[in-house]
Amino acid sequence: MAEAFMGFSMPKPQIHSPSYQTAKFDAYPHPNSLKQCSSSRFTNGWFQSEGSRRKRGHLCKANAFPDWPLMAVMVEHMEGQRDMITHKSIWHLSDETIKTIYTIYIMFTCWGCCFFGSTKDPYYDGEQYRKDGGDGTGHWVYEKQEDIEESARAELWREELIEEIEQKVGGLRELEEAGRKEELVK
């Protein structure tokens, strides 16, 4: 079993090599930077022969997230077995991004605490908080007490008006009756 870290970022000329389109994950990657440090078992290196290169194909960088720097590919090789390839990707984020992510995380946590906390808050649903003013639908109605008093005064005004009218009507009736009596007397 051999392990090797191989695929550091590959040099450009390789990508643009003519054999680029042939095979994808057929063989080990052979960047020339790796050639020097690879062990003796890796005989079929990049510069071994032109033929083998054609036969085995070679690795090219397949990037799932094109913008994110994919740093390493780990290859696990077992003797007498087919090649197993394990991808391991490490993201290296900039300080700025890390900060942003943590900020979002904290904000979300705070919001979650407030929101889900408030749904279970007896005070939030209690009379203390939802008494006159709030009608519970999110529409805040102000001055209910003042409204009540205002309508009471309006009612008072109407009462007085009715009384006045009744008095006037009564006076008119009296006048009429007096007129009738006079007529009767005549």
Interface residues with other proteins (CB under 8 A)?
A: 146, 149-150, 152-157, 159-160
Burial class, 156, CB count within 10 angstroms (exposed 0-12 / middle 13-18 / buried 19+): exposed
Looking at beta carbons only, is 76 or 132 nearer to other proteins?
Answer: 132
Give the residue among 81, 22, 82, 99 at the shortest CA–CA distance from 56: 22
Looking at beta carbons only, is 83 or 163 nearer to other proteins?
Answer: 163
What is the torsion angle, in degrees rounded to the nearest 10, for the CA atoms of residue 158, residue 164, residue 165 and residue 169? Answer: 160
Looking at beta carbons only, is 146 or 183 nearer to other proteins?
Answer: 146
User: Minimum Å distance from CB 186 to other proteins?
Assistant: 35
User: Minimum Å distance from CB 150 to other proteins?
Assistant: 6
Looking at beta carbons only, is 61 or 158 nearer to other proteins?
Answer: 158
Looking at beta carbons only, is 159 or 176 nearer to other proteins?
Answer: 159
The CA distance from 180 to 186, in Å, is: 10
User: Minimum Å distance from CB 152 to other proteins?
Assistant: 6
User: Minimum Å distance from CB 182 to other proteins?
Assistant: 30
User: Minimum Å distance from CB 92 to other proteins?
Assistant: 52
